[in-house]
Amino acid sequence: MFNFRNMSCKELMKVLGLGAVAFVLGVEWLNWLKRRLRDSRGPLKEVLFFPSPQVCVEHLFIRHKHFPCACPLPHGVETSFSRLLVHLLSARVSLDLCVFSFSHMELSRAILLLHKQGVVVRVVTDRDYMTITGSQIGALRKAGICVRHEMSSAVHMHHKFALVDSRKLITGSLNWTLTAVQSNKENVMVTEEPELVGPYQQEFQKLWEANDPANHKPQYTNGQLNIKTCKDK
Ligand SMILES: [Zn+2]
Ligand SMILES: [Zn+2]
């Protein structure tokens, strides 16, 4: 075919140039193919079922290459609970959380960590369940996280959903309690489908505004104001 020795310098440059163009086009085509394959799967969809076996999740909180953990729990095992934590801890800008009952220590730790990292956390919870033994709501408020609760005493704020960076929806039957995570049959769906994320974000905003303490008359229990006002960030 080509006899390089008989080629002029000009011809050789032409062949090399064509080769370079072919190489670049090949790389471009591979990238295009990769994008097509990824797009055909659509936005993130994941389903998690509980109960979740107890495993070590320490590495999700402390990101270190060779983290030595001496705890007796199994290590390097992915579970529904560890996936839930991964999704929550992926928040970089905001976390909007609607949860009926919140007493799970590790989930509380995750929310406090996000708050510390500068993620804007907003929580809407139930009026009756926020004061039960073990509730983490007090700890969140103490840390400066904005928590609002259902103002009406006639209805429960029974939702269990979270919005990560207004882009990822985590929703299902799971209350944020140890019993729900470790014992109950529960389901959680994680999705970045905009047509699902959008209405949940609107619903959160609606609940957030409807339960703004500023719009309600102060209520007193045993002479103490029981509504904590919280400045919006
Ligand atoms: Zn461990
Ligand atoms: Zn209150």
Going from the Cα of 82 to the center of ligand 2, the distance in angstroms, rounded, reads 31
Q: How confident is the model at residue 213 (pLDDT cuts 50, 70, 90)?
A: confident
Q: Which of 104, 149, 160, 168 is catalytic?
A: 160
Amino acid at 13: M
Going from the Cα of 152 to the center of ligand 2, the distance in angstroms, rounded, reads 11
Active-site residue, 160 included:
yes
- Tokens found for residue 135: 């509730």
Q: Which of 14, 116, 158, 206 is catalytic?
A: 158
Domain identity same for 27 and 142: no
pLDDT exceeds cutoff 80 at 223: no
Domain identity same for 15 and 56: no
Domain identity same for 120 and 21: no
Closest CA to 101 of 154, 173, 166: 173
Please provide the size of the chain in residues.
233
| Residue 119 falls in which region: left (phi positive, over 0), alpha (psi -120 to 50) or beta | beta
Contacts of 78 (CB under 8 A, 6+ apart): none
pLDDT, greater one: 92 or 227: 92
Domain range enclosing 13:
8-40
Long-range Cβ contacts of 110-119 (<8 Å, 24+ apart)? 110/61, 110/85, 111/136, 111/140, 111/145, 112/139, 112/140, 112/143, 112/145, 113/61, 113/89, 114/88, 114/89, 115/140, 115/143, 115/144, 115/145, 116/143, 119/91, 119/92, 119/93, 119/94, 119/95
Q: What is the CATH number of the domain that holds 139?
A: 3.30.870.10
Q: Once rounded to an integer, what is the mean pLDDT over residues 93-97?
A: 98
Q: How confident is the model at residue 232 (pLDDT cuts 50, 70, 90)?
A: very low
Going from the Cα of 159 to the center of ligand 2, the distance in angstroms, rounded, reads 18
Question: Distance of alpha carbon 15 from its chain centroid, rounded?
Answer: 52
DSSP-derived pairing of the beta strands 146-149 and 120-125: parallel
Domain identity same for 59 and 95: yes
- What residues does 169 pair with on adjacent strands? 163, 191
Counting residues of the chain whose pLDDT is more than 70, the rounded percentage is: 89
Q: Quick check: is 169 in a domain?
A: yes
Going from the Cα of 41 to the center of ligand 1, the distance in angstroms, rounded, reads 34
Q: Quick check: is 168 in a domain?
A: yes
Q: Quick check: is 112 in a domain?
A: yes
Domain identity same for 190 and 95: yes
Going from the Cα of 218 to the center of ligand 1, the distance in angstroms, rounded, reads 46
Domain identity same for 32 and 146: no
DSSP-derived pairing of the beta strands 224-225 and 220-221: antiparallel
Count structural domains, the chain. 2
- ipTM computed for the complex: 0.64
pLDDT, greater one: 64 or 26: 26
Going from the Cα of 230 to the center of ligand 1, the distance in angstroms, rounded, reads 36
Q: How confident is the model at residue 91 (pLDDT cuts 50, 70, 90)?
A: very high
Using only C-alpha atoms, the chain has a radius of gyration, in whole angstroms, of 26
**Mean pLDDT lowest among 98-112, 169-183, 209-223:** 209-223
pLDDT exceeds cutoff 90 at 37: no
Active-site residue, 64 included:
no
Distances (CA, A) of 229 to 21, 76, 141, 148: 64, 42, 10, 9
* Least distant ligand from the CA of 124: 2
* Least distant ligand from the CA of 150: 2
Q: Across all residues in the chain, what is the average pLDDT?
A: 88
Contacts of 156 (CB under 8 A, 6+ apart): 100, 126, 128, 129, 150
Mapped onto helix, strand or coil, the DSSP state of residue 21 is helix
Domain identity same for 60 and 151: yes
Distance CA 173, CA 184 (A): 10
Active-site residue, 115 included:
no
User: What pLDDT, in 10s, does the model give residues 165-192?
Assistant: 999 999 999 999 999 999 999 999 999 9
Q: Quick check: is 3 in a domain?
A: no
Q: Quick check: is 2 in a domain?
A: no
Other Cβ atoms within 10 Å of 230 Cβ, number: 17
Domain identity same for 117 and 136: yes
Q: Which residues surround ligand 1, an ion (CB under 5 A)?
A: 56, 58, 69, 71
Q: Once rounded to an integer, what is the mean pLDDT over residues 100-123?
A: 96
Q: Report pLDDT for 233.
A: 40
Q: Quick check: is 230 in a domain?
A: no
